[in-house]
Amino acid sequence: MQLDKLKGTLVDFNQLEHVLDDAEHVGAWQLEIRKHNDDPLELDELILHVHKLEGADQDGLIRNLSARFAEQTEVHPNRIVFHDADEMRRLQGVGAQLKEQKVVDHRPLAPIADAPLPVAAPLDLLEVSRAGEVEVPS
């Protein structure tokens, strides 16, 4: 079971793969997870990349996929982007990766503060006064 938190909701990616694999008129697909404006402090965005099969109505497919997402995972994709078969193979890394990349996480890591950590003086430089206070010799 592969679980991760998206948009504040715990999502089972194994279930999500079944939702997309079983969708009518969908060939290849990829779910991209990123941050809005690539800002690590912004909200998560879900972008669904899809290769629609011939004869499928694009607007109807968008409605169908959004409804399936909401029903099964309680989250909605922010965008659904349609690609041809060659572009989907490139996005999934077919021929370049060992396995198709169906779910990719492009979220940047949260920034780490640049403040230096405090450094304690070595023990041999410290002197303990009679009152038990530590004094650093000048």
- CATH assignment of the domain containing 89: 3.30.300.30
Residue 131: what pLDDT?
54
Tell me, yes or no, whether 15 lies in a domain: yes
What pLDDT, on a 0 to 100 scale, did the predictor assign at position 90? Answer: 93
Distance CA 61, CA 66 (A): 8
pTM of the model: 0.72
pLDDT computed for residue 49 by the predictor: 96
Residue 124 lies in a domain: no
| Percentage of residues of the chain with pLDDT beyond 90 | 29
Q: What's the number of domains the chain is made of?
A: 1
Q: Answer whether residue 134 is part of any domain.
A: no
Is 96 contained in some domain? yes
Domain that holds residue 20: 3-105
Predicted pLDDT at 51? 95
Kindly state whether residue 122 falls inside one of the protein's structural domains. Answer: no
Q: Which residues of the chain have pLDDT under 50?
A: 125
Residue 116 domain-assigned? no
59, part of any domain:
yes
